[in-house]
Amino acid sequence: MAPSSSSVPQQRKQILRFTSHRHLRQRLLLSLLSGKSIIISQIRPDDIHVGLRDYEINLLRLLERITNGSTVEISTTGTSFLFHPGLLPGGSYSHTCSLGRSIGYYLEVLVPLAPFCKKAFDISLFGITGEEGRDLTVDTIRTVTLPHLHIFGITENLELQIKKRGAAPLGGGQVIFRCPVVRQLKTIQFIDKGKIKKIRGVAYSTRVSPQFANRMVESARSVLNRFIPDIYLYTDVYKGEESGKSPGYGLTLVSQSTTSALHSFESLSTPPSESKTIQQTPEDIALFSARGLLEEINKGGCVDGKHQWLVLLLMALGKEDVGKCLMGDLTSHTIQFLRDMVTFFGVKFKLTPVQSDSSTEKTSTGEVMVSCVGIGYSNVNKSMA
Amino acid sequence: AARMERRRDLMTLVYGDELSPEEIASGKTRPSSADAESSQTATDGFFRVTRQDGLDEEGDQLKTSINRKALEEKWQDEELLSSLHNCFITAPVGE
């Protein structure tokens, strides 16, 4: 099942074709890691705003800057583009993200790329540090995404510093992401989800009364206290210069088990102009976050639902050994990612549903044991460039 | 055994193309056209099955939209709340 080792130049001729704006970032990510060029067409052809959004073009420019030899050719109407992936030299960068999407939109591509650079990678990103609904906030990336890299042995000098917070819509936030270089990834056997021993979280607010953060902490506790006494929710109240340009507040929650399995959920206020409903109260935000965390825990597995794709990717790129991991309900994003990994790397996972009492009508995949043989992906950029 | 049979189902579904990722994630196992209509409108409690035509803005994001009311009602259920205790170290031993 292990495909031929992909030396970059020889791959250039093989161009993979995709359509629509859906799953755009994972195709760019897999293109860069596999060295295979892609064409993505029919991007919002009959939308009022045809073609690529500004935040997508901003991402393409970012990828061009942090690679050597990548070329991006966007059609005149912006409804399709050709992407030839280059190499990943690493080094230091600074980038201003479009305000159309939060910084998490960009970090969700940079985090899985950074370990495969030739030299250590660090980047300063300016923009919106958290936005309700679509992308991970910088707090989840710091407290959930990076710890998922620890499972594969990526630990020293791996950090995300939140210098300034910036809420939607005007942003004004800044983070610094640093990542070491990885020669080869550890093969994992993460099959015991253990028992949850603590809950941590961050209640943050910008340009509103500091009381909002405390109110969120109390409301979240009212839901979670019955399960576990060890709950510590930091309040992170930014005022003045480091608080960005828009008022906003949110709560990110993370549960950790005796075997370091993580689950997380978060919710933020929506800017008044956008949301038709009146802006939620801090209590609404906190109760939703707490219940969302219970929902994630209830789905089971050793890996947070929004990070299944990252663990699957790093398992596939690992040494030519059998890696195993117990996952909770597979998300639709994960299932699409599994399909795209076959297209780019030819890697198929063995998926074994864990026998749960299937008496109740199934509304999810249930817990699934995933396993695969790594393709022995050696850090091409390290040896080549 | 049933477990074997279900395993093949999940892999065939995930790596096949009869069902969309959203449908598989919401527990559907049969692509029979009979309930294709219902799967299109299935809101499955609080997860909205996004439309296939990719017209909408969503499509490249990790988070799916969640019905807050349904989530709130779900987690009022005492039985469910106490069943979750087993996931915590505070669970009474031997339960």
For the stretch B5-43, pLDDT in tens is 444 489 999 999 899 999 999 998 887 554 444 444 444
* Domain contains A78: yes
CB contact under 8 A, A134 and B87: no
A92, A76 contact by CB (below 8 A) = no
Q: Could you report the per-residue pLDDT of A355-368, keeping only the tens digit for each?
A: 766 556 789 999 99
Residue ranges, chain A, pLDDT below 70: 1-13, 273-279, 356-360, 379-385
Chain B positions touching A228 (Cβ under 8 A) are 88-90
Given A30, A56, A86, the domain boundary residue is: A86
% of chain B at pLDDT higher than 70: 61
Query: What DSSP line would sit under A191-231, residue for residue?
Result: -----EEEEEEEEEEESS-THHHHHHHHHHHHHHTTT-S-E
Q: How many CB pairs under 8 A join A and B?
A: 139
Residue B45 has pLDDT above 60, yes or no: no
Chain A positions touching B95 (Cβ under 8 A) are none
Give every CB contact of residue A366 below 8 A, 6+ residues apart in sequence: A300, A329, A353, A354, A356, A358
Given A270, A299, A328, the domain boundary residue is: A299
Residue B4 has pLDDT above 50, yes or no: no
Give every CB contact of residue A341 below 8 A, 6+ residues apart in sequence: A30, A312, A313, A316, A347
Q: How far apart are CA B79 and CA B29, in angstroms?
A: 28
* Domain contains A98: no
Q: So what's the pLDDT on residue B58?
A: 75
Chain B positions touching A365 (Cβ under 8 A) are 10, 24-25, 27
Give every CB contact of residue B90 below 8 A, 6+ residues apart in sequence: A227, A228, A229
CB contact under 8 A, A24 and B45: no
Q: So what's the pLDDT on residue A3?
A: 40
* Domain contains A177: no
Domain count, chain A: 3
Say which of B2, B25, B81 has its CB closest to residue A332: B25
Given A258, A277, A299, the domain boundary residue is: A299
The residue in chain A having the minimum alpha-carbon distance to the alpha carbon of residue B83 is A298
Chain A positions touching B55 (Cβ under 8 A) are 44, 46-47
Q: Are residues A285 and A315 in the same domain?
A: no
Element holding A327 (H helix, E strand) = strand A322-327
CB contact under 8 A, B22 and A332: yes
Q: Are residues A203 and A265 in the same domain?
A: yes
A343 touches chain B (CB under 8 A): no
* Domain contains A379: no
Q: So what's the pLDDT on residue A104?
A: 98
Q: So what's the pLDDT on residue A272?
A: 77
Say which of A21, A298, A350 has its CB closest to residue B84: A298
For residue A52, what are the domain limits? 13-86
A21 touches chain B (CB under 8 A): yes
Give pTM, 2 decimals.
0.90
